[in-house]
Amino acid sequence: MTNTRRAPLVLLATCVFFAICTEMLPVGLLPEIGRGLGVSSSAAGVLVSLYAVLVAVMSVPIAAVAERWPRRVVLAVLLGAYTLSNVVFALAPDYAVAVVARTIGGLAHAGFFAVAVAAAVSLVDPARPGRAVTVLMVGNGLALLFGVPLGTVLGTALGWRWAFVVLAVALGALAVVVVRVLPAQPPARRASPSTPRTPVLVGIRRPAVLVMASVITLAALGHFTLYTYVSPLLLHDGVARVDVGAVLFAYGGGGLLGLAVAGAVVARRPDEALAADIVLMGLSLALAAAVTSTTGVIVTVAVWGVAFGAFPTLTQTVMLRAAGDATDAATALVNATTNIGIAGGALLGSRLLGLVAVPGLGWAGAGLVVASLVVYAPRLLRAERAARAAGGPAGVGGTPGDGHRVNR
């Protein structure tokens, strides 16, 4: 990869880092935010779920509008919206203003990942979109492992508002740098005949794209049905409250390992790799429900981190292959379906907790993950047949009927 392409990819990964911090930092500061706004921690938690719902609902519509302008311009505007969101949130005098601030952030997030992933893919070999996705997911993994915990420490020590001021400054600076560093590209609506791009609202109706959207939705629902309540799970199985953070750090470390593994295999065998990852995720959820020892749940959570750490890279790559030249549609749907999992999993888990103990959520999550594998199985079999017919390894030949050209 040349320096002219490496620098924009690193820049986009940096943007992802701060975008994820903006999304997830309130989770670590809910009590402080609640006290600062004069509301309960549960009311402050609505600011997190509101964000996820907005991303789930608005990703595709915003991507459809954004394809009218060059990606670097759209990214700069979205980073500016993140900046505004964090500034308003940091200065919010009451809960109503905080809701407005997080609404702005949620709308920015809805468009950001669809455009950022598509922009990254356009910088690499069209046959290897997984390379670009892996680089972006490093920003995601580092945000969860280091960014959010460090932001939580900063917010606890200096006040939660200062943590969001830091995010606002960083994102504002990135908005300026993006315009200067990212290469100029024509809007998707005015792409040249040699680099066709299917409009978002057309691409999302492709059967292969809809199948992958179903797979991601079911797997993400399964994951977040239990992960939303991972701290109560650890406490239930004997982990001391002071050690919960350390176990979650192990989960994050496992996530980086999973990302590294995904990056190593995604170019050659994306379909098989995704199937294996879904199996590992389902087993992790089942084990989380079954084990009763403290050691057992710690090991399970670390392995679960490996499984989910690989998931974004693999699903993004397989979805891009399924979408062909509908790159923006693919990335928008991955963003939307993942956030359906975040919001829906939290809601499902909360409902089930009235009926079962926390570990029981693992069985429900595992069932949803198994359902995603059942939906995915026909595509996997077609990919295997296509690879054998082409005389290459599974995943390289792709699935018959998919479009495989990724726009540059």
3-state DSSP of the chain:
CCHHHHHHHHHHHHHHHHHHHHHHHHHHCHHHHHHHHCCCHHHHHHHHHHHHHHHHHHHHHHHHHHCCCCHHHHHHHHHHHHHHHHHHHHHCCCHHHHHHHHHHHHHHHHHHHHHHHHHHHCCCCCCCHHHHHHHHHHHHHHHHHHHHHHHHHHHHHHCHHHHHHHHHHHHHHHHHHHHHHCCCCCCHHHCCCCCCCCCHHHHCCCHHHHHHHHHHHHHHHHHHHHHCCHHHHHHHCCCCHHHHHHHHHHHHHHHHHHHHHHHHHCCCCHHHHHHHHHHHHHHHHHHHHHCCCHHHHHHHHHHHHHHHHHHHHHHHHHHHHHHCCCHHHHHHHHHHHHHHHHHHHHHHHHHHCCCCCCCHHHHHHHHHHHHHHHHHHHHHHHHHHHHHHHCCCCCCCCCCCCECCCCC
Segment 47-85, tens digit of pLDDT: 888 888 999 999 999 988 988 889 899 999 999 999 999
- What's the pLDDT score for residue 383? 72
Residues of the chain with pLDDT under 70: 1-4, 127, 185-197, 386-408
**Is the domain covering 196-397 a CATH 1.20.1250.20 domain?**
yes
- What's the pLDDT score for residue 219? 97
Residue boundaries of the structural domains of the chain: 1-184, 196-397
- What's the pLDDT score for residue 2? 56
Domain 1-184 identical in fold to domain 196-397: yes
Segment 230-288, tens digit of pLDDT: 888 888 889 887 788 788 888 888 999 999 999 899 888 889 999 999 999 999 999 99
- What's the pLDDT score for residue 327? 85
pTM score:
0.81
Class of 1-184 per CATH? mainly alpha
